[in-house]
Structure 1
Amino acid sequence: MARRCELTGKGVMVGNNVSHALNRTRRRFLPNLVKVTLMSEALNRSVKLRISAYALRSVEHRGGLDAFLLKQNDDTLSTLAQGIKKEVRAALAA
């Protein structure tokens, strides 16, 4: 399973540990991923996603999963999230 947020696309970054003597060793900065169950009002069902804590705050700020998905660009969404976005769009159009 990739260490990547399914909604924002935030992933692993690399950098250096820098000691007091300025010795540099490579390290990885992992995203703060959380397994959450979000409710979709348009689909009337819950959806399990692995998203970053930042994305969870963004979902709540934008007014729920449906509003977040409709505003989010498809390039950052995972294939699962793109499918959910397509279902939400169809449900709102009907």
Structure 2
Amino acid sequence: MSRRCELTGKGVMVGNNVSHANNKTKRRFLPNLNDVTLVSDALDRSFQLRVSASALRTVDHRGGLDAFLAKASDGDLSPRALKIKRDIAKAQAAA
């Protein structure tokens, strides 16, 4: 399972631990990923996604999964999230 947010594409970053003596050793900054269940109002079903905490706050701020995916760029989304976005667009066009 990759350490990448399915909604924002946020992934692992690399940097240095710097000691008091200014010695530098490589380290990894891991994203704060959570397994969450988000509900789509247009499709009337829920989806399990691996999402960063900041993305979860953004989904809440924008008014739910449907509104978030409508504004999200396709390049940031995982293939699963992209399929959900297309399904939501179809359901909203039909309604």
- The TM-score bracket by the shorter chain reads over 0.9
What is the alpha-carbon root mean square deviation over aligned residues? 0.3
TM-score (norm 2): 0.98
User: How many residues align structurally?
Assistant: 94
What is the CA–CA distance in structure 1 between the aligned matches of 2:48 and 2:87, rounded to whole Å?
15
Contiguous gaps of at least 5 residues in structure 2 = none
Give the match for residue 93 of structure 2: 93
TM-score (norm 1): 0.99
State the Cα deviation string for residues 10-49 of structure 1 (Å, max 9, x = none): 0000000001111000000000000000010000000000
What is the CA–CA distance in structure 2 between the aligned matches of 1:6 and 1:39, rounded to whole Å?
15
4+ aligned runs moved over 4 Å, structure 1: none
State percent identity of aligned pairs. Answer: 68
What is the CA–CA distance in structure 2 between the aligned matches of 1:46 and 1:6, rounded to whole Å?
15
1:42-61 alignment runs, 5 A limit = 42-61=42-61
